[in-house]
């Protein structure tokens, strides 16, 4: 998966030359960046301008995007495994948010080390913390979805396009609805907890952000299927627009 980015230095040069048609810029100098790690990436354009960035998008957001690309390209079985990975990373995100909500000074890295390799413990922690924080039961995973995922991952089950899209819609609706509830229930505290999580993730790699080989440093949020509610109001809309003419994710 790649990101199509804008090189700030090239764009400033175009503006300085008073070129009226900015679309000319879109045609020749939007570099493509391969995303093979998270949250860091480095942009280098054709003119050798370098910028280091951190992605504000959560890992579950990227995985969902990638899983949907799998379906668009006809890899239906692979999409289910990646959608499931997106769900698991979403549970991790929520567990950390809930942990900071109750105790901002928690050493989450130490806590996560204990449960990071056991998905059953993660799911149990998510269910329990959701109930303790929001005062209501979470939406429990449907057993048939779990069974399908297990058959795909562990038994090599093949699936068709309809099955893959049905699973994708389930994940899309689950995360979208859960995030909407978090927004309404936690309010400003959600942003506080989210920022604390971002700091934890990035603080140990501060040297990567201050490498003098990069001309600039920044953070960027890329519109995605999950985050862009206006462009993608429902799951089916993820398949109605695939052409990116500016900044955005590409296959």
Confidence (pTM)? 0.90
One domain for residues 196 and 152: yes
Q: What's the pLDDT score for residue 12?
A: 76
Final residue before a domain boundary, out of 203, 222, 240: 203
* Interval 37-73: pLDDT, tens: 899 888 888 888 888 888 999 999 999 999 999 999 9
Task: Extract the tokens encoding 66.
Answer: 């990638």
- Residue whose pair of structure tokens reads 């300085």 in the numeric block: 16
* Interval 72-123: pLDDT, tens: 999 999 999 999 999 999 999 999 999 999 999 999 999 999 999 899 999 9
Asked whether the predicted pLDDT for residue 163 surpasses 70, the reply is: yes
Nearest CA-CA partner of 190 in 178, 202, 206, 203 = 178
| Residue-averaged pLDDT of the chain | 88
Q: Is residue 125 domain-resident?
A: yes
* Distance from C-alpha of 43 to C-alpha of 45, rounded to nearest angstrom: 6
Q: What's the pLDDT score for residue 245?
A: 63
For 159, the domain range is 84-203
Q: What's the pLDDT score for residue 20?
A: 43
* Distance from C-alpha of 202 to C-alpha of 180, rounded to nearest angstrom: 26
């Amino acid at each position: 998966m790649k990101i199509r980015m804008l090189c700030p230095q090239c764009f400033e040069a175009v503006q300085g030359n008073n070129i009226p048609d900015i679309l000319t810029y879109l045609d020749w100098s939007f570099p493509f960046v391969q995303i093979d790690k998270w949250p860091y990436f480095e942009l280098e354009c054709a003119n050798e301008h370098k910028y280091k960035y951190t992605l504000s998008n959560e890992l579950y957001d990227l995985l969902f995007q990638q899983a949907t690309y799998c379906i668009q390209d006809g890899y239906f079985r692979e999409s289910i495994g990646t959608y499931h990975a997106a769900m698991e990373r979403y549970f991790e995100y929520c567990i950390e948010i809930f942990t900071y909500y109750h105790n901002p000074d928690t050493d989450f890295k130490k806590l996560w080390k204990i449960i990071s390799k056991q998905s059953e413990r993660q799911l149990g922690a998510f269910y329990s913390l959701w109930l303790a924080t929001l005062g209501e039961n979470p939406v429990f995973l449907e057993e048939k979805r779990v069974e399908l995922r297990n058959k795909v991952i562990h038994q090599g089950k093949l699936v068709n396009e309809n099955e893959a899209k049905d699973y994708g819609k389930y994940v899309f609706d689950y995360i979208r609805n859960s995030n909407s509830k978090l927004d309404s229930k936690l309010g400003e505290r959600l942003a506080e907890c989210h920022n604390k999580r971002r700091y934890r993730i990035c603080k140990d790699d501060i040297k990567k952000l201050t490498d003098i080989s990069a001309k600039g440093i920044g953070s960027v949020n890329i519109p995605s299927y999950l985050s862009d509610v206006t462009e993608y109001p429902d799951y089916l809309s993820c398949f109605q627009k695939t052409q990116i003419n500016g900044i955005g994710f590409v296959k």
